[in-house]
Structure 1
Amino acid sequence: MMSAFTQNLETQTSSNSRSGRKILTAFTALAVVGMPVAYMLLGRGPKTAVAASPPPTVSIAAPMSRTVNEWDAYVGRFAPSKSVDVRPRVSGQITSLHFTDGAIVKQGQLLFTIDKRPFEAALAEAQAGLESARSDLSLARTDVARADQLSDAAISKSEVDRRRAKMQAAVASVAAAEARVQSRSLDMEFTDVRAPIEGRVSDRRVDPGNLVMAGDGGSSTLLTTVNALDPIYFNFDASEAVFLKTKRAQQTGAESSRVEVRLQDEAEYLWSGQLDFIDTGLDPRSGTIRARAVLKNSDFFLTPGMFGNMRLANGSASTALLVPDSAVQTDQARKTVLTVGADGTVVAKPVQLGAVVDGLRIVRSGLDGNDRVIIGGILSAVPGAQVATKPGEIAPITSAPKAPVLATSGEVTFAR
């Protein structure tokens, strides 16, 4: 029995020894594998070299040199060059209408007819009165002629004077009767209401069958309105600064009266005209002055009350440097343009800007024709940093016209 117990104990001890060796072997393997990881986590492992990133690539181009003619921009409204309210000059009943609402009418074209019968009767009465006055004058002249043939003994001098005075009164009566006939004839003429000017007629305010009244000013009946549309006016307000600039340009002999107008649905300035009126003084409340341009409108397309964007030439054509408007940056209170130096370093240059023409901004100062302006990849360019460059091109957004390029200064005033 003792030997059996001893045998079991030896067997158990041998088994424990083998398990312990297995555990020790596993720990040893983990230590061997984990040591590099620990060294790496503690920063004590082998160091690897980090490759330097290449500099960003930007597009560059020299500023474009073009001949431009700068303009000042305004917003205003079109107005008729003439506007006439058509009112009757005699009272009566409208008997007929001779136009279509909104039609183009010629000067003197018949618009309304007023009942002529009362005026025909008045004219006939005036003509009869004229004939009576002429008869009295003829009799008076005969009496004077007879008195002149008689001797002083047959007729007194006072009778001769009386007959001559009667003849002069008859002459005056004839003149008065002729004037009444002329007045009644005018009344007959006024029964035909005609267009006073050429233009577009408004709608009728009175239908046939209605009585209309003649009178002075607003007491008479309004029949319709005729607006002259060729030429047509464009009214706008100019600021004092632009007014002074225009006057300075006129003193130097530069062109400052040519205007161009663009409608709200147009991309280009298709309507041209001339500045023809500037008011006598500035409004002290707003600091603006009223001005007006006149434009041709042979097809009557332009309509009074329509809005338009106008630009006014403020000087003669000159050569200027232009860069894309997107290349201009704002640095606090100044405008800058990023350029690339000979060593590839980004340099921010302060600039003085002018008008925008075809998407390009005029640079008045700060750049020269040899500068390499960054026009692409601007967001990755930092002043003082190194960049790689590739050639770019500065081109207008729209096709350039044959005449000198027209720029707008962006100075806008609104019509009252």
Structure 2
Amino acid sequence: MVAQTVSKLKWCVFLVLGLQLTACGEASAPQQAMLPSVIVNTAKTEEIQSKTEIVGRTHASEDVMIKSQIQGQLLNRAFVEGDDINKGDLLFEIDPATYAAELAQHKAVLKQAFASRDVAVMNWERGRRLLPDGMISAQDMDELTTRKLTTAAGVVQAEAAVQGAELQLSYTKIYAPISGRISNAKVSTGDIISSNSEMASLVQLQPMWVNFQVAEKALINARQNFAKAAKKEIDISDIVISLRLPNGSLFSETGYVDFVSNRVDAATGTLPIRATFKNEDKFMLPGMFVTLIIESPVKENALLIPQSAVQEDQQGRFVMVLNDKDEVEKRIVELGERFGIDWRVLSGLKDGERLVVDGLQKIRPGIQVKAVEQEIIPFKESVSAPQ
């Protein structure tokens, strides 16, 4: 009986040990690790047209400060402040009474000069006839000649004085020298205006100039790149310029470069350039800060990658590239200008290579990943649900 009990206990122990060993064997069986999933995009060569954005400032093509040239009391302001003025329109009128009186006085002096000259000429003619007969001496004839010349000069002097008085009188009425938009008046009716007083400013809004500056290095690179892409020298008139207004909207017109300075500013290392816009609606005003979008006149092929794929460390900018085995490789790249959400690749990548754009925090060089191609979903306007 005891022997049977011992035998049963041994059987139970072996059974328990067997179950434990089986359980341990199942727990230690190796399992295949899951590969990290990443989203990839393919580097593609596309046709591009380079654009550069530069901040500029608008300037009126003509900016005139209206000043008085004489002194007097202001009788009239003949314009509405802020209005568009045509060339030749009357702007101000200064009291002409003093200058009209001076003109009348000079005209009277001119008449006296004419009379004196006429008498001198008649005496000279009479003396010229009497001189051969010895009726007058040569000295008397010289005096008659001198008188004739002096009175003739007096006429010229009096005529000049009349012209000067007429000019002074004309300054009592101030006319617009150009067409443009007038500012507020800096003087009021009844003021005593002194010579050279500022009275108003007049700016020409059509066309409108935009002044900007380009770094000398960027200018040389742009000309070389344009010439290389077009395989010919690019004329400055071929460059099309768009403009972004201060509120971010695009101006409806395109402009062109009409002036390039003949020297680089030694202090800033930049070249002053000017663009012209017709400004037909007179929307742009002087003094506005705007953004010029300068578009290359030629198209070229370039390798583009999404900006989301680009990282940067002490070695520079780099991307994570997948090889044929879906293994991660770190690739240093040289990048150029941006085109929307893409970046131009100058070196370091080839067309058709795959690079990681999402899931970068889960990977490192050398590991294998599960690649999922990025799906580009076109933008669609959202439709609000019915209320």
TM score, norm. by length of structure 2: 0.79
2:215 aligned with 1:235, yes or no?
no
Three-state SS of the structure 1 residue aligned to 2:50 is: strand
Aligned partners of 1:299 and 1:343: how far apart in 2?
61
Aligned partners of 1:313 and 1:256: how far apart in 2?
12
Three-state SS of the structure 2 residue aligned to 1:129 is: helix
What letter matches 1:225 in structure 2? S
CA contact (8 A) 1:79 1:232 kept: yes
CA 70–396 in structure 1, closer or farther in 2 if over 3 Å, else same: farther
Aligned partners of 1:335 and 1:128: how far apart in 2?
89
Q: Which residue of 1 aligns with 2:85?
A: 105
Three-state SS of the structure 2 residue aligned to 1:260 is: strand
Q: Which residue of 2 aligns with 1:386?
A: 368
Q: Which residue of 2 aligns with 1:133?
A: 113
Residues 369-408 of structure 1 aligned to structure 2 (within 5 Å): 369-392=351-374
Aligned partners of 1:95 and 1:246: how far apart in 2?
58
Q: Which residue of 1 aligns with 2:384?
A: none
Q: Which residue of 2 aligns with 1:156?
A: 137
Aligned partners of 1:103 and 1:64: how far apart in 2?
55
Q: Which residue of 2 aligns with 1:73?
A: 53
Aligned partners of 1:396 and 1:129: how far apart in 2?
89
CA contact (8 A) 2:223 2:234 kept: no
Three-state SS of the structure 1 residue aligned to 2:145 is: helix
- Provide, for residues 375-415 of structure 1, a one-character-per-residue CA deviation record: whole Å limited to 9, x for no partner: 44444444323233343366999xxxxxxxxxxxxxxxxxx
* Deviation, structure 1 residue 229: 2.7
Aligned partners of 1:101 and 1:369: how far apart in 2?
62
Residues 189-208 of structure 1 aligned to structure 2 (within 5 Å): 189-208=170-189
CA contact (8 A) 1:62 1:371 kept: yes
CA contact (8 A) 2:308 2:358 kept: no
Q: Which residue of 2 aligns with 1:143?
A: 123
Count of aligned residue pairs for this structure pair? 355
Range 245-254 or range 153-162, more displaced: 245-254
Three-state SS of the structure 1 residue aligned to 2:233 is: coil
2:189 aligned with 1:213, yes or no?
no
Q: Which residue of 2 aligns with 1:414?
A: none
Aligned partners of 2:33 and 2:98: how far apart in 1?
103
- Provide, for residues 253-280 of structure 1, a one-character-per-residue CA deviation record: whole Å limited to 9, x for no partner: 2355734332221254754331513263
Three-state SS of the structure 1 residue aligned to 2:305 is: strand
Q: Which residue of 2 aligns with 1:280?
A: 263
Q: Alignment RMSD, CA only?
A: 3.3
Q: Which residue of 2 aligns with 1:358?
A: 340
CA contact (8 A) 1:238 1:288 kept: yes
CA contact (8 A) 2:330 2:365 kept: yes
CA contact (8 A) 2:236 2:257 kept: no
* Deviation, structure 1 residue 212: 0.7
CA contact (8 A) 1:107 1:197 kept: yes
Q: Which residue of 2 aligns with 1:401?
A: none
* Deviation, structure 1 residue 289: 4.6
Aligned partners of 1:395 and 1:177: how far apart in 2?
89
Three-state SS of the structure 2 residue aligned to 1:133 is: helix
Aligned partners of 1:198 and 1:269: how far apart in 2?
23
Aligned partners of 2:179 and 2:372: how far apart in 1?
63
CA 134–265 in structure 1, closer or farther in 2 if over 3 Å, else same: same
What letter matches 2:322 in structure 1? V
CA 362–244 in structure 1, closer or farther in 2 if over 3 Å, else same: same
* Deviation, structure 1 residue 79: 2.2
CA 375–301 in structure 1, closer or farther in 2 if over 3 Å, else same: same
Aligned partners of 2:321 and 2:249: how far apart in 1?
32
> Which of residues 179, 188, 202 in structure 2 aligns to 1:226?
202
What letter matches 1:278 in structure 2? S
Residues 40-55 of structure 1 aligned to structure 2 (within 5 Å): 47=27, 52=32, 54-55=34-35
CA contact (8 A) 2:246 2:288 kept: no
CA 396–72 in structure 1, closer or farther in 2 if over 3 Å, else same: farther
Aligned partners of 1:315 and 1:299: how far apart in 2?
27
CA contact (8 A) 1:61 1:394 kept: no
Paired-residue identity, %:
28
* Deviation, structure 1 residue 332: 2.8
Three-state SS of the structure 2 residue aligned to 1:223 is: strand
CA contact (8 A) 2:43 2:350 kept: yes
> Which of residues 59, 71, 86 in structure 2 aligns to 1:91?
71
Aligned partners of 1:393 and 1:367: how far apart in 2?
21
Aligned partners of 2:375 and 2:266: how far apart in 1?
47
* Deviation, structure 1 residue 248: 5.2
2:62 aligned with 1:82, yes or no?
yes
CA contact (8 A) 2:255 2:277 kept: yes
CA contact (8 A) 2:82 2:184 kept: yes
Aligned partners of 2:251 and 2:337: how far apart in 1?
16
Residues 24-43 of structure 1 aligned to structure 2 (within 5 Å): none
What letter matches 1:280 in structure 2? R
Q: Which residue of 1 aligns with 2:3?
A: none
CA contact (8 A) 2:42 2:353 kept: yes
Unmatched tracts of structure 1, length 5 or more: 1-31, 215-219, 398-416
CA contact (8 A) 1:359 1:396 kept: no
TM score, norm. by length of structure 1: 0.74
